[in-house]
Amino acid sequence: MALTDTTTDSIILEKLEVMAQQFIDMVTLRSSLEIESFQDYALQRLCFRIRGYVLAEEVDKRSMIVKFRIDIPATWWQHFKQSLFPQWLLNRTPVKHYTIERNKKVTFRRLATYPKASLILPKEVSNAVVYRTQIYEDLS
C-alpha cells in the first residue's frame, strides 16, 4: 500500500451526562454524619464518602474454618516465564510453584437493623447500646 492510499473513517461522538445520586434519610443518620471527599491525582478521580451509623441487633452468629490454598511461582524467573512465555515453551519448561496453605476461622454475623429508631445518641456513646422495650398484654 502506498502512502497516498489511505482511508478515513469518521464517527460522531455525543456528550453524555454521567451522575451518581443516593438519597439518605436524615432520621437514619441523625446521630452522626461524616462526609469526606478526596481526589486521586494519579488516576484523576474524585471520591465522596458518606458515613453514618445505625442501631443493630445481632440475630445470628456462625463460624467456620475455611482452608485457603495459593500456588505461587517459586522465583521471579518462574513468574516471568508464566507471564510471558508462549504455551509451547511452557510445555517444555513448566513453571515451578510453591504452595501456601492456611486455615482461617471466618465468622458470619446476621444483624437486624433499626434505621428509623428514634434514639439520638451522642458521639461519646460506645458501640453497645442497650434498648429495652416492654410489651404488656391485657389477659382479661
State the pLDDT at residue 125: 55
pLDDT (average), residues 3-17:
74
Q: Are 66 and 103 in contact (CB under 8 A)?
A: yes
State the pLDDT at residue 42: 83
pLDDT (average), residues 27-39:
69
State the pLDDT at residue 49: 79
Residue ranges per structural domain of the chain: 33-114
CA distance 21 to 48: 11
56-93 confidence digits (pLDDT tens): 888 899 999 999 999 999 999 999 999 999 999 999 99
**What percent of the chain stands above pLDDT 70?**
71
100-113 confidence digits (pLDDT tens): 999 999 999 998 88
- DSSP state letters, 2-30: -TT---------------------TTTTS
Strands 33-40 and 45-52: antiparallel
Give the residue, 132 or 57, on which the prediction is more confident: 57
Range from 14-28, 83-97, 112-126 carrying the lowest mean pLDDT: 112-126
Confidence band for 9, pLDDT divided at 50, 70 and 90: confident
